[in-house]
Amino acid sequence: MSFKTPANLQYLSSHEWILIDGDTATVGITDYAQDALGDVVYVDLPEVGTTFAAGAEFGVAESVKASSELYLPAAGEVIAVNGDVSQQTDLVNTDPYGKGWLVRIKLSGDKAPLLDAAAYTALVDSIKH
């Protein structure tokens, strides 16, 4: 099985993606992450206005089998939370880079070490061997 890793995104080694657009960014979990987790049944996301350091835990996604902490690829303040995902958690599985996005942040500067699509694809391939 091969996983989608869109070239316009950057990635954390803990399987979150970030789409940076000026001084704001959208964050979600990768196709590989949603597949590894299985059917997502709960997503715990922060309140709008919460601020986080780069790499900080900002929420949790839960499937029947496992919990997965969610880490923020860049420092910032949460300016929007995807309410659709709380109501319809399978969006994370069916459209992880689109309707399954998790939070939007206003960037405050710091970034965690980010991978480009090629480096992240190589990481996923090395996990799958």
Partner 1 sequence: MSEELLRTVLHGEHLRLNARMVEFGGWDMPVQYTGIIDEHRAVRERAGLFDVSHMGEFWVEGPDALAFLQHVTTADVSQLAIGHAGYALFCRPDGGVVDDLFIYRLGEQRYLLVVNASNIAKDWQWIQPFASNFAVTLGDASPVTALMALQGPGAEAVLASLIGDVAVTLLFHGVAETTLLGQSVIIARTGYTGEDGFEIFCANDHAVTIWQALLAAGATPCGLGARDSLRFEPCLALYGHELADDINPYEARLGWAVKLSKGEFVGSAALNDLKSNYTRRLVAFEVTGKGIARGGYAVQDTTCNPIGVVTTGMPSPTFGKPLGIALIARAEASEGNQIDIIVRDKPVRAVVVKYPFYQSRYKK
**Given the rule CB under 8 A, which residues bind partner 1?**
1, 35, 38-39, 41-42, 44, 60, 62-65, 67, 69
CA distances from 46 to 15, 50, 80, 83 (A): 19, 7, 10, 11
Shortest distance, CB of residue 79 to partner 1, whole angstroms?
23
Shortest distance, CB of residue 21 to partner 1, whole angstroms?
31
Shortest distance, CB of residue 30 to partner 1, whole angstroms?
16
* 100 versus 115: smaller Cβ distance to partner 1: 100
Query: 29: which strand partners?
Result: 16
Shortest distance, CB of residue 80 to partner 1, whole angstroms?
21
* 18 versus 61: smaller Cβ distance to partner 1: 61
CB 27 within 8 A of CB 72: yes
Q: Give DSSP secondary structure letters for 81-129.
A: E-HHHHH-TTHHHH-TTTTT--EEEEEEEEE---B-HHHHHHHHHHHH-
Name the amino acid, one letter, at 100: G
* 23 versus 125: smaller Cβ distance to partner 1: 125
* 60 versus 118: smaller Cβ distance to partner 1: 60
